[in-house]
Amino acid sequence: MEVAANLRGRQADELTSTPRLAKVLDIPGLDNLRTYYAATMALVQGSPARPGLPPELVIYICRLADFEVVRITKSPEGIKEVRAWSPKIESRLWFQTKPLKKPILSRIKSIQLITMSRHQGWVNNRSGGSWSWFEVRIACPGDENPSQFEAKLRGDGYDASWRSHSNPVEQEASSQEIEFTEHRGLLFGTDNQLWHEIKEGDVLQVVLKSQFSGWANIASDGALKIVTWWEPSPEMLDLLYNRLQGHLLQAYVKIDALSPWVKLLSPTHFLTLEHPTGLQEAIPPASYSDQAQDSPESGLYRLLPSGYPRVIGAIYPTLVAAILFSASSLSSVPRAMSDTDSINSWSSHSSSLQLREGPLLSHPQLNPDVIKSYYTAFAGLLNGSSDRQALPLELVLHICRLAAFERWLTIRAPEGRKVQTWGSEVKSVVWFQSWPFTSQMLRGTKSVQLVTMSRHQGWVGDRNAGSWSWFEVRVAQPVDKEDTNRLEVKRHLDGSEMSWCSHAHPVDQETAQQQENFAEHKGLVFDSDHELWDEVGEGDVLQVVMKVQFGEWANKASDGMLQISTWWEPSTEMLDMMGQSGKI
């Protein structure tokens, strides 16, 4: 027993001292997958400004963006070698892949062998070349025993085998000849003859070879990298194109019959997916969660990256993957920005609430992984690869827009406000405003939406008469180009203000008991095709105006934010850097 223990100890020491390759991880990791699925879902679902794309085009765009998966087949532990003592070629099978399936073969991009290896350590005639090398060969299941693989033969009777690389013999490497060194072999791209010979069920084998007396091939570690194009699985595509629009989600969604949006409910969050109307309303039972939640009001809802959709996760785990992978791209909102400059159009009929009195809105922080994913996709398209040419900048930017790469700029109200009236005239107060728009911002603007934490006076005499407590978004311009701090509202030719209603406080009977409390209200989404954007010029600002009319109506707000969505584009500095180096 002592002898056996000593033997095991020596073997363990040998394995520990054996030179190994640097750790190579399978790709993609979680961040990569999140990027891939986020882009795929954005392309599939479309947006209010454009329809979703068909699966063939989605997959093609993913390839243009170099979305790829790397699978690593590692060699067994320990040193392997083959030595030659004559002109006869000596070979030894080192390791092999698992049988390759059709889905993998249909998406093959390349393979490459990486070894930690050396030859015998000395060379008499360097000009004679290296006779210590590696090959990658195809093997197929044996006729008598399919679990045993035999080298596949080509039409000329030779093995279907291709040289990967040799252990070098050049003068510069002479000092390293007795040391194990990392060597990278030929990159077998899709145009290599190897891929015309391989079939489903075959394996790829790594073979050590040497020839002529004294030559040896000694390897301590190896890895075969198989790179395939990433594509969403058939199950995921089916989920995105069909099941999200079918009966499987009827128990977990709320459809607003007046809006083409599905609200996926969770204890704390909503995920917005574009969807044709027609499904019946069905709210998840409270028993699915320890925090029951009422259905949301009409409007556009987005999933925030914090939290976990437990309701859906408990019922349909496959959907959770889609939600988590899309969360970073659909709802990353930068840190709120507030404009504290003086505004010269406050109404004398308003009275300010105490600073930040009452409940506040949630202000999510910027997720750096989102911007990182944008640059990853952008660089993949712009830089090209060994298998395809780089795309022109204009086409890359267009694809980024198709993928709905966007960023949210949030302007937060500096304080709460209140306006109230006791007559029939309209009373208003400018609450807060955006910064002046630049021409670059206007070119990239996608939409703007006002969100408020607000309420009316708390009671309504005649609900059938509608709500007379509302918010508007209006365009203002500098009074003087020399003094941009003094603003005036822009007007149409008929003299009316360039102002549009965002939303009014609800007065319906169903929510009457809640109307006396502050609540979050989401306004109209002013998309790029809205007439508002035809009136906004360089240097103009957007102002949020609180309004009321008729006796005793009030508009009280404790918090608010103006969310401006812009198409994402890399900065000028980043473009300059990429133009110089070709890399991020």
Task: Kindly report the CATH number that applies to the domain delimited by 68-229.
Answer: 2.60.120
* 253 pLDDT above the threshold of 50: no
- pLDDT for 373 equals 79
Eight-state DSSP code of residue 315 = H
Q: Find out whether 132 and 167 touch, Cβ atoms under 8 Å.
A: yes
Q: Find out whether 167 and 130 touch, Cβ atoms under 8 Å.
A: yes
What is the full DSSP assignment across 9-52? HHHHHHHHHS--PPP---B--HHHHHHHHHHHHHHHH-BTTBPP
SS (H, E, C) 376-406: HHHHHHHHCECCECCCCHHHHHHHHHHCCCE
* 334 pLDDT above the threshold of 60: no
**What is the enclosing helix (H) or strand (E) of 190?**
none
Give 275-318 pLDDT, tens digit per residue: 333 322 223 333 223 333 333 333 333 332 222 232 222 222 22
Cβ atoms < 10 Å from Cβ of 398: 12
- Among residues 102, 120, 222, the alpha carbon closest in space to that of 174 is found at 120
Beta bridge partners of 417: 557
Whether omega for the bond prior to residue 276 falls within 30 degrees of 0, making it cis, is no
Sign of CA dihedral 80, 86, 87, 88: negative
Give 170-220 pLDDT, tens digit per residue: 755 555 557 889 999 999 998 899 998 999 999 999 999 999 988 999 999
10 Å CB burial of residue 556 (0-12, 13-18, 19+) is buried
User: Looking at per-residue confidence, does 219 or 156 come out higher?
Assistant: 219
Mean pLDDT for the stretch of residues 354-365 = 63
Beta bridge partners of 206: 95, 136
- pLDDT for 37 equals 81
User: 279 is written with which tokens?
Assistant: 């499904």
All CATH 2.60.120 domain ranges of the chain, comma separated, are: 68-229
Mean pLDDT for the stretch of residues 422-438 = 91
* 386 pLDDT above the threshold of 90: no
Residue 340 banded pLDDT, cuts 50, 70, 90:
very low
Give 487-542 pLDDT, tens digit per residue: 999 999 999 999 999 999 999 888 878 888 899 999 999 998 899 999 999 999 99
Answer whether 0.85 is exceeded by the pTM: no
User: Looking at per-residue confidence, does 333 or 10 come out higher?
Assistant: 10
**Mean pLDDT across the chain, nearest whole number?**
74
Whole-angstrom Cα distance, residue 442 to residue 434? 13
